[in-house]
Chain A
């Protein structure tokens, strides 16, 4: 039994947590909120690229390190924990799409730039009115796409979009070069991570695999996003636990009260359940296992639940101070909404989970 990250992946995660603890975190997040702040922290992004994190998952033939999805998940958890104002998670998700579905030529064209950090590639799934990743309005005509993708995380400043668009066999992915594309900033509940609107009007695009690749990519993306959410939820929990150890009310620290400590315990329970499923997910990516679909959906649902609960109860347990603009609680409260909106919310993923379980039950019967 070896149900754990490799030592190499853990070491990379440790390195990432250290750098982000130093150069990201809530102070940097607050700076990113200021009017006129850049879309992301360019200096930190250069450091991330120099350390080889964008190259981690890229095959050696394309200028990368050829590491596994475990490394991507550890990086996503660290970025999520420190609200890092860099498009790292988006790039990891886009990399996964190119690895899964890209032709040799597409990989050769884009992966080296992703590896060295010069190309910021972002998935563009969301569109106005979309709640179901299987039903999209953006569509293709020949090798051109039309419609609106929004809100797209990390779109402002990106060079390549991996666009999900409707097709005859269901949606599939397309590559859209963002040079000269119609990109605007969209304001969202998340004041730290920039989101954008991509308006496609018969815009040139290249198919990236087929509908089945899209479905596989959804699974992999859900697992990586789950680790980001686990990072964010853990930070909300840690911040709250530290506060409960120092804040005094009725003559004792509030962490002594069961009304407070039991909520902290529930944060831990939800995070660990999410972690178990997300670990199952990354194990299934590694072994190309048949349980990937159910593991990914469970990881997605459990991690949304954990991030939502921890974000909400962090404000609650901080009391009035937690509700102020100056408190860091709002970052986690708001980020939980960003995580949920990034790839359809828990209702759709819970349904996908049950569908996967039904199929497995039928296969086993």
Chain B
């Protein structure tokens, strides 16, 4: 057993690393003053164009749609190498990770030919419009409606938790097109122009104080039928392929999340309430050990998946534990670290950056436990898809949507 690259992987990594050293030098450290939105967009577009020119976009996509036609390992290696820098690629993670694969898989070829290249080079930004106030975990409960009018569809309703809606040119939106069918059957997916009349984007302020998401209101927004993705009524199936990509995208640990080394360092520097450095206290050591087991256990579980991918196999079902463990562990570790720091961990003014980061992790973890599948939904998925237990009772499943409560 080893953690080494194969010869081909090592070569790709070396080439990638050399290219990044040469081209990402300005992003070696995070910006000293955080970027404003327009600066972030400017940097993001410039960086994406550079990556496109060098062949580091659409790495796993077929060549026919402008991708590189390489395997998942190359994409993972690029991601690992890029993460050694602070290059701005977040603006495109949803568009290129989820929306555009849906467009070229389910859209009309001439529509894909128009939109995929501009998304890939970073000229146009895409967002994903799925969740609604009444359709979160129960995503098929979508109420935003699309009504056919000649060769067009007219969209009315509200979406929520849309990342980068305010910076996006286009989005993919799931709408209810036939409320007389059961909830999963009456949905259809469309492309929507985010600059068209009737689209209103409002920022959401999160409990953490940040504003990473939006709500989007649609009032009489018109899209051509050619922008339909998949057949009428097939929106749920199309959305599932999109979400498969999301689970891969949000499984990892956020960059700012604390690691066990943070806990050890902190515990060494503070007094235990019972005297002596906290790191010597038995309960503190037990908590650090528990954190390591979850935190490092997920990293090692991901190594198992990489091994499978590297051999051309599918990762095993153990991959499904990642996000549920990562989010809760981040919350527990941050709370424990702040607790160790006592009153200093609670005060937010004039704090050292390490404590401020921990405070950010603690507040952010509450959102991470919900985003991309709540802890509860993910446990359902493990129980049902991995262990084969029956699905929850769904009294509305087979009823016409407009007849259900």
Contacts and interface: CB of A to CB of B under 8 A. Distances in A.
Interface of A: 1-6, 70, 237, 241, 244-245, 252-253, 255-256, 258, 260-262, 264-266, 268-269, 272-277, 279-280, 282-283, 286-287, 294, 297-298, 301-302, 305, 347, 350-351, 353-354, 357-358, 361
A245 B382 contact: no
Given A1-B303, A241-B388, A273 B297 contact: yes
Contact of A2 (B1, B279, B384): B1
Contacts of A2: 1-4, 307, 310-311
Interface of B: 1-6, 9, 260-261, 264-265, 279, 282, 285-286, 288-290, 292-294, 296-298, 300-301, 303-304, 306-308, 310-311, 318, 321, 324-325, 376, 378-380, 382-384, 386-393
Complex A-B, nearest 7 residue pairs according to Cβ-Cβ distance, in ascending order: A350-B289, A261-B383, A276-B300, A273-B297, A255-B389, A283-B1, A265-B382
A245 B282 contact: no
Contact of B1 (A252, A274, A282, A294): A282
A258 B2 CA distance: 39
B301 A256 contact: no
A84 B389 CA distance: 28
B297 A302 contact: yes
Contacts of B9: 1
A280 B386 contact: no
B389 A256 contact: yes
Most interface-central of A261, A282, A286 (chain B CB within 10 A): A261
A262 B301 contact: no
Contact of B389 (A1, A261, A274): A261
Given A252-B393, A265-B379, A354-B289, A1 B5 contact: yes
B382 to A, nearest CB: 4
Contact of A261 (B1, B310, B324, B380): B380
Contact of A264 (B260, B264, B389): B389
A225 to B, nearest CB: 16
A3 B297 contact: no
A200 to B, nearest CB: 32
Contact of A3 (B3, B279, B296, B393): B3
B300 A279 contact: yes
Contacts of A245: 388-390
B306 A1 contact: yes
A268 B1 contact: no
A332 to B, nearest CB: 17
Most interface-central of B1, B9, B279, B324 (chain A CB within 10 A): B1
Contacts of B382: 264-265, 268-269
A301 B289 contact: yes
A250 to B, nearest CB: 10
B264 A276 contact: no
Contacts of A268: 321, 382-383, 386-387
A353 B297 CA distance: 13
Given A1-B310, A273-B297, 14 more contacts: A2-B4, A245-B388, A252-B390, A264-B382, A264-B383, A264-B387, A265-B383, A265-B387, A272-B318, A277-B297, A298-B296, A301-B289, A350-B290, A354-B288
Most interface-central of B279, B324, B382 (chain A CB within 10 A): B382
A302 B301 CA distance: 13
A246 B318 CA distance: 25
Contact of B304 (A4, A253, A282, A361): A4
A277 B292 CA distance: 10
B380 A275 contact: no
6 contacts: A256-B389, A256-B391, A261-B380, A279-B1, A354-B264, A357-B260
A276 B292 contact: no
B126 to A, nearest CB: 32
B387 A350 contact: no
B383 A273 contact: no
B15 to A, nearest CB: 18
Given A245-B389, A256-B389, A258-B379, A298 B282 contact: no
A351 B281 CA distance: 10
Given A2-B4, A283-B1, A361-B261, A273 B293 contact: yes
Contacts, number: 163
Given A3-B303, A258-B392, A262-B379, A347 B387 contact: no
A255 B260 contact: no
A272 B376 CA distance: 18
Nearest to B378: A265
A52 B161 CA distance: 59
A75 to B, nearest CB: 17
A252 B286 CA distance: 40
B379 A261 contact: yes
B301 A273 contact: yes
A201 to B, nearest CB: 36
A27 B147 CA distance: 64
A357 B300 CA distance: 16
Nearest to A271: B318
Contact of A269 (B260, B288, B307, B324): B324
B383 A3 contact: no
A357 B261 CA distance: 8
Contacts of A276: 297-298, 300-301, 303-304, 318
Contacts of B392: 256, 258
Contact of A357 (B292, B298, B311): B292
A42 to B, nearest CB: 35
Given A245-B390, A256-B392, A279-B300, A347 B286 contact: yes
Contacts of B264: 354, 357-358, 361
A273 B321 contact: yes
A266 B387 CA distance: 11
A1 B391 contact: no
A1 B312 CA distance: 12
B321 A269 contact: yes
Nearest to B383: A261
Contacts of B6: 1
Most interface-central of A244, A353, A361 (chain B CB within 10 A): A353
Contacts of B4: 1-2
B301 A272 contact: yes
Contacts of A350: 285-286, 289-290
Contacts of A287: 1-2
Given A1-B307, A2-B1, A266 B379 contact: yes
B81 to A, nearest CB: 15
B289 A353 contact: yes
A287 B376 CA distance: 39
Contacts of B285: 350-351, 354
A221 to B, nearest CB: 19
Nearest to A277: B297
A3 B1 contact: yes
